[in-house]
Structure 1
């Protein structure tokens, strides 16, 4: 059931046709199974990798024209992402260290 709101028109309810509603209900039940959640976890990992490449390495924009050169750029971008992940994994110390808050300094001074 979908409730639609608009400033000029009264509220209305949109109901899916029965076959679509049954499919949607079955899909929601399937999402509760362990097998589905395992498969989705794999997809979530892939989505995180793509997101990292888009944000940190500019994967959406190609410097080159043509499929072959663009493919080489994507391969090199993936390699750069892997190198960045490996260096983050090897480096045990955090990159930035936050300053201690006044409250934390006060608590550690009294101890």
Structure 2
């Protein structure tokens, strides 16, 4: 919500719905229900509207309990409720957040979102390489001039490693061996 106010578009996957219905990929998960925030009613995919909105707290969020009498006469009840004599409970966030999460989950199934996320994965790979190869997470020295020099030399080392990988066209299909950094291998090649 804060990112949207600042005009920042976040390209990150949301956690999946962990309800039993969503995990089994059968039945009615939370996305299948329509929430009418003004009248405080929930409509199921069978077009059955709840008679009440009974909020309770579940995991710190409001959970809406749909009365068992609303679902009892329907033949698809087993696809919605697991308990024999229970009622369905939907955990909802605040209205704005609920709608934003629903829209983001729908968007992340599209091909355009997948293409955007692939770009992010490339950038994350570069950052991970910088952390793994040069240990940039912690400065080795004290003082801003020395740390600035360390960062500049680390960036140069990463560029050298990436150029070496590009020029030698290393295949990623090779079996994994004990890890030796590319910078160490390059140093051994240069001294040999």
TM-score (norm 1): 0.61
Please tell me whether Structure 1 or Structure 2 has the larger radius of gyration of its CA atoms: 2
Counting only pairs closer than 5 Å after superposition, residues 100-111 of structure 1 correspond to structure 2 as none
Counterpart in the other structure of 2:104 = 27
Structure 2 Cα separation of the partners of residues 89 and 37 of structure 1 = 26
Match of 1:18 among 71, 78, 95: 95
Structure 2 Cα separation of the partners of residues 29 and 44 of structure 1 = 20
Q: Which runs of 5+ in 2 are unaligned?
A: 1-16, 20-57, 62-90, 176-192
- Structure 1 segments, 4+ long, off by >4 Å, are none
Counting only pairs closer than 5 Å after superposition, residues 39-54 of structure 1 correspond to structure 2 as 39-54=116-131
CA RMSD of aligned residues (A): 2.7
Instruction: Give, in angstroms, the shift of residue 93 of structure 1.
Output: 5.9
Whichever structure has more strand as a proportion of its residues is 2
Counterpart in the other structure of 2:141 = 64
Aligned pair count reads 88
Instruction: Return closer, same or farther for 1:93/1:66 CA change in 2, 3 Å cut-off.
Output: closer
Structure 2 Cα separation of the partners of residues 67 and 34 of structure 1 = 44
Whichever structure has more helix as a proportion of its residues is 1
TM-score (norm 2): 0.39
Instruction: Give, in angstroms, the shift of residue 36 of structure 1.
Output: 2.9
Instruction: Return closer, same or farther for 1:58/1:24 CA change in 2, 3 Å cut-off.
Output: same
